[in-house]
Structure 1
């Protein structure tokens, strides 16, 4: 009985001491319960980058930061994304994204879009902050943004590039005093799944040495079925005896879709290929003036196209020999008179 009284007295003593401690130090018991937990660990696993909307001037890059978390819940996490120009090292654009509380051992994807000029390259930096403190950073490099095709210029049709088929074929048509006709043909392949139309091709024929346009013609392209190759034909008139580059441009609703080049070697002493740009041969600009036939010269006389342009004549003016003979006869008579005096 005495033992039971002792236990009860001890229990009452513990309760009394607790109440006294709570009254004297109110936060003594709460401090241990409300002590903040140490936040978990956060780092960047990877940063995939993909192209988004592409316009004529800008490119939007989709950036995804995959954050790895482990440990206690982590609050107040933000991710800074920024694009830095590779040449100037200037920040082109940046965005900051808040992240919800990270819990458990798992990955979380944080996405944003960065819109930059569609040229050159950029360094994409991803920086993770926790409570304003930097905890991790990752860098990715992107380049060649000018190669991304805007949506309005996308097309499944392009000039054929096969070993057995040239994208541009050139043939010699009729010839005449004014020059020669070139028969031009472009091979187009539809690599899409549907038939396509509303296309046209412009053939531009340029004299190789001067880059002067000798002729230009635009022709429509008919419907091309999926997976098929079709040809478009045109004719261009040029002066003979020169070499030419033939540039073909494929258009869709006035948008440049694709291009190809070929050559026409009409100068027997010089030859060019599609990847050459300069040769040292004589050029005469008058052969590429607009129009044909004779024209007025500076003194009002008619010039002709019979091949005598620019050639000096060696023939004497009629009657010029008789005048010289008369002058010589008078000089002889005066000399004889002086001697007789």
Structure 2
């Protein structure tokens, strides 16, 4: 028997034994693995927070968690987000979101909403879980949640000239002055700073006696729609007792909600003046000058009633009697 024949016979014997072992002993010959899937890697790349819906009592914060992924496929991933009060340390609210399986090298955005009280500040904590085990976490803080403007109080219309440039947001002229009464033509300036037409608005203007805060007169005017980048100049007439100084307050209303305020002054007393930021002083006033005045009526209605009965609202017979008695008493003392 030559050498080649012996080698071939040996190989045949080895193959036969291997086949017999595979039949008799399961698993004797290892089967090739079918390319097992390796778990991917996840990390928090960025967390951004933006307000969405804002009401009078609550604010909804949208939390955008961007997850960085690389490697194999990641399954059974959840993201938990909670808001913790900065001052109290109490958990305000918590939400949890399941994430679809992630594969490849990419970023994934997970959006979640947190509804919190519209006050103070919060620490927003984010945690990433896979198969119930935490694999990444982080936190960020938001402050000034109470300064967010509710949707019902938003408007792009602003009182002009309130930036400290020296111009008053409200101005007036004296249209008429007689019988110790002054009729003021009061106007203000409203600018639409937005990109669309404004809502239907109205302005309520009040003349408030500077030393006592007594409302001398109040009226309102419809503003209507203001085009983008345009300024409207609504004006009203207010009739008030003469020889007093007044704060002129303008309040901007939108659908029953105050959306803006402005203040200026009207100095009708030639011996003293007031400023908008001045502390109220105690100065003697005649309350009777402001009696019998319905502050809810408009200036035109007040003027019409004056012409009808021949008297001027706010000054009754008592004022004249008091003035006559004072004059007689002064004359008697001098004599």
TM-score range, shorter chain: 0.7 to 0.9
Q: Which runs of 5+ in 2 are unaligned?
A: 294-313
Single out whichever of 186-195 and 134-143 deviates more from structure 2: 186-195
Task: Encode CA deviations 1:69-120: one digit per residue, 9 max, x unaligned.
Answer: 1223222211111122222222222110011222222111111111222233
Instruction: Between 229-238 and 205-214, report the one with greater CA deviation.
Output: 205-214
C-alpha distance in structure 2 between counterparts of 1:149 and 1:61, whole Å: 13
Aligned pairs for 1:240-251 (under 5 A) are 240-251=242-253
Equivalence map 1:231-246=2 (5 Å): 231-246=233-248
Alignment of 1:158-307 (within 5 A): 158-161=158-161, 163=165, 166-196=168-198, 198-291=200-293, 292-294=314-316, 303-305=318-320
Aligned length: 305
Residue 142 of structure 2 is matched in structure 1 by: 142
Instruction: Give matches, 1:1-341, under 5 Å.
Output: 1-22=5-26, 33=33, 39-161=39-161, 163=165, 166-196=168-198, 198-291=200-293, 292-294=314-316, 303-305=318-320, 308=323, 311=326, 313=329
Distance of 2:53 and 2:325 partners within structure 1: 59
- The 1:19–1:165 alpha-carbon spacing in structure 2 relative to 1, beyond 3 Å, is farther
The worse-fitting range, judged by mean Cα deviation, of 33-42 and 68-77 is 33-42
Per the TM alignment, residue 164 of structure 1 is displaced from its structure 2 partner at its CA by: 8.0
Q: Whole-Å Cα distance in 2 between the matches of residues 219 and 66 of structure 1?
A: 51
In structure 1, the gaps of 5 or more residues are 296-302, 317-341
Distance 1:115 1:17, change over 3 A: same
In structure 2, distance between residues paired with 1:288 and 1:270: 20
Moved more, 68-77 or 218-227: 218-227
Counterpart-to-counterpart distance in 1, 2:87 and 2:51: 21
Contact 2:247–2:266 under 8 Å retained in 1: yes
Cα distance, 1:197 vs structure 2 = 6.0
Across the aligned residues of Structure 1 and Structure 2, the Cα RMSD in angstroms comes to 3.1
In structure 2, do the counterparts of structure 1 residues 22 and 275 end up closer, same or farther at CA, with 3 Å as the change threshold?
farther
Report the 3-state secondary structure (helix = DSSP H, G, I; strand = E; otherwise coil) of the residue aligned with 1:9: helix
Give the stretch that moved more between structures: 244-253 or 189-198: 189-198
| Maintained 8 Å contact 1:208/1:277 | no
Superposition deviation, residue 314 in structure 1: 6.9
Shift of 1:185: 0.4
Name the CA distance, whole Å, in 2 between partners of 1:74 and 1:283: 80
Q: Which has the larger radius of gyration?
A: 1
Shift of 1:47: 0.9
Q: What are the superposed Cα offsets for residues 311-339 of structure 1, whole Å, 9 maximum, x if unpaired? A: 594788xxxxxxxxxxxxxxxxxxxxxxx
